[in-house]
Amino acid sequence: MRGVLISLAALFAAGPAAAQALSPMTGEVRTYTDRFALQLKAFNPYERAQRFQLAFYDETGARFADVQSAAPVIYVPPGEEVSFYVWGMAAQRRRINICVTSPYFLDGVGSQVRGEVCGRYDIVRLGG
Amino acid sequence: MRFNRKIGFCLFVLAGLFIPGGARAQLSGDVIFNGSLLDICIVLVTGSGTIAPNATYTEMSSEHAGGARGEATITTTSTNFDVAVDAPSAFSSAPAGADTGVTYEAMVSASGVTSLLDVVDGVLSPLGLGLTTLDVGVTATRGAGVFPAGAYQIPVTVRCVAS
């Protein structure tokens, strides 16, 4: 990802990895180029390994086509966290909602529930 | 004797050089503790639910006799989060023809650090700081006719959103 500036010092601040579904939940990415990238961590609080789905939405709930990750699904062992990268095109200012979604739980009879955590990130292009 | 005094003076000066600077400069100091508290939201689905028909077989719901709500917990480290449930768009598993003319709705109640009572799908509600327990309900209503016999599954998403 040549030319991509990641200036998300607060987001990369090292801290103890408490149980969490997505960290950080908010942030601002500043870039001097027309691209951005950010690193997030997904935590699996469940006792079984999980395949979390990743999705990227705008504020209206529409999916972004120009925001992507290496894979649409991340595999997270039980009780562990996995870092993943998200990148895309940077506008002068754009807001991206990144959601990590667990599979549906199948132990019920009739109604399945799944969890989803969505963080909110502002992408700011400096200069230009 | 004079020679011994000179040696002693030199040793005193040398000893002074080897005293650690911090200990020589001050008699007390602060011990610095670093730490960080991440703004996090944990969603943990603790139990799926059960849907059951009404007497006329026009509804399948967790709210009818024999039904049960799904359960989840949300733990937050700040008050910067909202919770919402999504209405299903379809059964994930159902007998053929079961989803014809069906409307879906979900609702959520909360206890713990957040108090909610049957908030309908799509509505964001602020979460308190700490542990919230959620009861998630769902209803599928048939516009015409009745639900056919068979096994049903209907999905509901519980979402924690940065506000």
Q: Taking 60 as the threshold, does the pLDDT of residue B2 lie above it? A: no
Q: Are strands B116-120 and A110-125 parallel, antiparallel or unpaired?
A: unpaired
Asked if A61 reaches chain B (Cβ–Cβ under 8 Å), the answer is no
A122 C-beta neighbours (distance < 10 Å), count: 13
Q: Where are the beta strands (DSSP E) in B11-101?
A: 41-47, 49-50, 52-53, 59-61, 70-76, 81-86
Pairs of CB atoms within 8 A across A/B: 137
Which of B97, B112, B105, B162 has its CA nearest to residue B136? B105
Average pLDDT over residues B25-31: 82
- CATH entry 1.10.8.50 includes domain A20-125: no
Contact in structure between B81 and A116 (CB atoms under 8 Å): no
The residue among B69 and B38 whose pLDDT is bigger is B69
- From B54's Cα to the closest Cα of chain A, the distance in A is 14
Is residue B18 in some structural domain? no
- From A98's Cα to the closest Cα of chain B, the distance in A is 10
Structure tokens at A6: 């990641």
Domain that holds residue B126: 41-162
Is residue B153 in some structural domain? yes
Asked if A44 reaches chain B (Cβ–Cβ under 8 Å), the answer is no
ipTM: 0.76
pLDDT digits (tens, 9 = 90+) for A43-96: 988 888 888 999 999 888 888 888 999 888 999 999 899 999 999 998 888 999
* CATH code of the domain covering residue B58: 2.60.40
Confidence label for A109 from pLDDT (cuts 50, 70 and 90): low
Lookup result for tokens 């209206």: A60
Is residue B45 in some structural domain? yes
Contact across the interface for B48 and A106, Cβ inside 8 Å:
yes
Of B40, B43, B70, the CB nearest to A111: B70
Domain residue ranges in chain A = 20-125
Confidence label for A19 from pLDDT (cuts 50, 70 and 90): very low
Asked if A83 reaches chain B (Cβ–Cβ under 8 Å), the answer is no
Q: Taking 60 as the threshold, does the pLDDT of residue B114 lie above it? A: yes
How many folded domains does chain B comprise? Answer: 1
Contact across the interface for B138 and A111, Cβ inside 8 Å:
yes
Is residue B26 in some structural domain? no
Average pLDDT over residues B46-50: 88
pLDDT reported for residue A48: 84
Q: Is B110 exposed, middle or buried (0-12, 13-18, 19+ CB in 10 A)?
A: buried
pLDDT reported for residue B13: 47
Q: What are the two backbone dihedrals, phi and then psi, of residue A9, each rounded to the nearest 5 degrees? A: -55, -45
